[in-house]
Structure 1
């Protein structure tokens, strides 16, 4: 059977190519096997990636056991938590595009037969999945896995509590010594931060999409079970190559629907909307915000993971993992059974015989934590193209809310006001010019939302932005507002003291200013230019599309 790698390794004219591989130490026997690339995102900055070398070695063992030859290259990775609140966060979302482009470059410049992607944290996971869909060669994903939760005063904590601890310290609720203790305990191991944040959300969803094996999203990073899973993934990729199964065979529209259903049932990060739209575009699947909206009212939120509840990914793993969650959702008759997966089974074959072992972690359908899906899409004059809210993280007292606008043209200005105790009950913090183009880079607003929550204002203050949020955000925090301010969106016309109305149950958000006044404001409105106008982010600002379409680069 002809292989993709034949074009670089077969025939007398490819003697120079083979000679270069032999300089790497490969033998003729190895070069005659299927060539499997491993995209390794190892670095010693990001906690989710510091242990990747062990997993890569396990993947290599699996590939060799199955008769393939592994070759390895590295991929960059930004730590969103470390990049938070300063210049670095401008680079986080754009790094997703760089990652996708670099993987595409490596596997097409060196035409391999198959691909194993090893991501862990926020933008690295969707970036690699985008690349897999784009190059469309047999691919399997094995992530670094979730971090363990920390323990403070007998309670599980994680990075969200460290961020919220800053607000508690500034408001006098805890001492500096207590904040230091929380800091030391909050992130106790390698792995992607232990709540249902962006990375863990997408890692879990990858199982439902079919691109990774059961357990990929939930087995804790330090566990030997993850090393074993990596070996199995290495064996499975050789099988996928031999069978010719590619990502676009797996990631169909029906598979994306399954992913959205699981997303709603888990109460995932709002970033899943952004990333699933982007991955679908690379997979040539027409996915829109309306597809998310159609499942919001059909799927209850059965889980309460941090930051909106007490549980973490290790709890989900103990409860039976993602396949047990899908089994619990089966009576809704919404899941598509026939979607194939990298395991060699259909998704239904993967979950039909599973069970839930902890009902408090994955509740029964008739006892949900929230009667609707974890995420919802809001529209109205402020977001005609849509905005995203984690509704399961909103106190019910805020489902209908009218507040006065406190307007800031950057996250930094908003933080200064929040930390300066200038935000009061009944306020709506408006942070604009932080969208994909205006930021540029669509920064996460975890520091402002965490400070508001830490100060005990999350039941009295709303926040809206054309930027986005970390999965660690809770409260009435609406992001991804489209169109963004830099592209002429109405959010750019809000003035201090304007009234803003929210109706979560009816999925509405409106600026309560009459049309005549809005038209007058438009006459004098000139959007501000991007904050960064040099380097690669200047190019990004010119080329990036709207959040409502995944904030992908447009050509």
Structure 2
């Protein structure tokens, strides 16, 4: 066993002595040591219950013959961090989490690991660490939040509250209604109830093979979740015995499977960023063009909030992720059904008996929302290296849009400007200097996009940024524009009134400027001064790569 490094032989008597101080007995020394990488904290709704989850998982490991050791990572709530400097730390926390988990695994020589994430950056951070260290690993998240109900019985969620802010500002709702949304939108523990980034990533963990079926959709408050925790504790021992490791599971083909699900469900655009980062850690060549090819072949058969009124609990009742994957597997060659998974079975075996139980929530192929996927990669002179849009959340009339640029140099400026009425129907909002280096940290733009929706401009205004969006964003919102403004990308050369053309079906995004004019502006461009010069964000900004490569950190040895 890998743990023999710290427990076998007379030389390891001091190590065993320290382990005994942690509660180990003679009988424990020869058992597999299992890391429980938890992310419990008391300020993130998706994580407030994970201390109790860990207790259930640890007991299951003991019952299966292993010795569990729990440690915690940090966790940032993107919703609470939204709209102020704290949001800049969110993406950077992914790398901190990856480093922290890697350090704990390397230092203590565990035989296997169970990861207990739930929200946005914790999942990819733990995945990145898992492929770095490459010991048997299984993911079991804390589960999604239930949707709320207002006084009229309508389903509401976090996005209802965000959009309610703009509706209140515009005089469309009163303070009583805004307070009602505030009090009902987030009713339970769990990752926010729509197809936002956290739930997108937890669902993708099923498709990629790193989590058990049900991981992405069984509610945090559903007793069925306890079955997942028990199964994870039992299964990790089997994975250790088989020595089935993350790099045996995470391959180009299983990443394709993850993006097939992403396209079928219209997941968060952040999944592109995180999957590219995971591919980088696994030393897998994977690019935006490969994602577009999957989108061209995979229909969008399920739309979840913010793209519809359905929530994760509805998807679970309708058959879950396995039902979605089983339906799209009818298209020959789309899914790689032979990929291994943490169940010990192939993906095909995991999903073969799954059926759609509600065809209004999960559509059949014959009744797909669209013949192509819910995410689209755009290119053009405004984004030579690519940009991403959640096409499943774009109104039909906005799939093609041309309008004048209204430019904001930060998310904060944009929020003030939108609420002050500076954006009109037909405009193209540009929020720049919010990329990995320029932000730094690539803030999510949920506040400005929600304000646009709340102001009634969702079907007449587009938004383009070198930052990124919350999974809760809907509308013609195009992010991850690469290269970013801070390194001289075209988005940083735009002037107010420049005409921007968007054609999502054609996968194009451009500004109506000649090559000569762009070259002239580039020659006059000056690199902006860094916004943050100390702390972890300064370090992140100095090493962050472009969004089209996952915004991972790179350095020269």
TM-score of the superposition, structure 1-length normalised?
0.99
Which residue, 39, 60, 64 being the options, matches 2:62?
Answer: 64
Counterparts of 1:57 and 1:413, CA distance in 2: 45
RMSD: 0.8
Residue 486 of structure 2: SS of its match in structure 1?
Answer: helix
What is the alpha-carbon distance in structure 1 between the residues aligned to residue 158 and residue 427 of structure 2?
26
Equivalent runs, 1:67-82 vs 2, <5 Å: 67-82=65-80
Structure 2 Cα separation of the partners of residues 231 and 30 of structure 1: 20
CA contact 1:492–1:527 (8 Å) conserved in 2: no
Structure 2 equivalent of residue 276 of structure 1:
275
CA distance in 1 between partners of 2:413 and 2:399 (Å): 27
- CA distance in 2 between counterparts of 1:22 and 1:447 reads 51
Which residue number corresponds to residue 511 of structure 1? 511
Deviation at 1:290, TM superposition (A): 1.0
Of 53-62 and 7-16, more deviation after overlay is shown by: 53-62
TM-score, normalized by length of structure 2? 0.98
Which secondary structure state, in structure 1, belongs to the residue aligned with residue 162 of structure 2? helix
List runs of 5+ in structure 1 lacking aligned partners: none
1:313 matched to which residue of 2?
312
Q: Would you say how many aligned residue pairs link Structure 1 and Structure 2?
A: 553
Matched, 1:217 2:229: no
Residue 194 of structure 1 corresponds to which residue in structure 2? 193
**1:424-452 deviation digits (Å, cap 9, x = unpaired):** 01111100000000000000000000000
Q: Quote how far apart the aligned CAs of 1:252 are.
A: 1.2
SS at structure 2 position matched to 1:331: coil
Greater mean deviation of Cα atoms: 105-114 or 391-400: 391-400
Corresponding position of 2:239: 240
Distance 2:504 2:354 in 1: 35
For structure 2, the residue ranges without an aligned partner over 5 or more in a row are none
- Partner of 1:540 in structure 2? 540
Contact 2:544–2:554 (CA under 8 A) maintained in structure 1: yes
CA distance in 1, matches of 2:310, 2:287: 30
Say if 2:315 and 2:361, in contact at 8 Å, map to a contact too.
yes
Q: Is the 8 A contact 1:54 1:227 kept in 2?
A: no
Aligned to 1:324: 323
TM superposition shift of 1:396: 1.0
- Give the corresponding residue for 1:96: 94
- Contact 1:438 1:529 (C-alpha < 8 Å) held by counterparts: no
User: Once structures 1 and 2 are overlaid, which stretch shifts more, 188-197 or 289-298?
Assistant: 289-298
Question: Following the alignment from structure 1 to structure 2, what is the Cα–Cα distance between the partners of residues 55 and 413?
Answer: 41
Q: How does 1:470-489 map to 2 (within 5 A)?
A: 470-489=470-489
Alignment deviations for residues 165-210 of structure 1 (CA, whole Å, 9 cap, x no partner): 0111111110011000000000000000000000000100100110
User: Contact 2:397–2:459 (CA<8 Å) still a contact in 1?
Assistant: yes
Q: Is the 8 A contact 2:488 2:522 kept in 1?
A: no
Alignment of 1:34-49 (within 5 A): 34-49=32-47
Tell me the distance in 1 between the aligned counterparts of 2:32 and 2:283.
27
1:231 Cα shift? 1.1
Distance 1:500 1:531 in 2: 27
For 1:393 and 1:366, the matched residues in 2 are separated by 20
**1:372 CA drift (Å):** 1.6
Contact 2:36 2:115 in 1 (8 A): yes
Moved over 4 A (4+): none
Mapped to 2, the partners of 1:53 and 1:222 lie a distance apart of: 14
Counterpart mapping for 1:66-145 below 5 A? 66-145=64-143
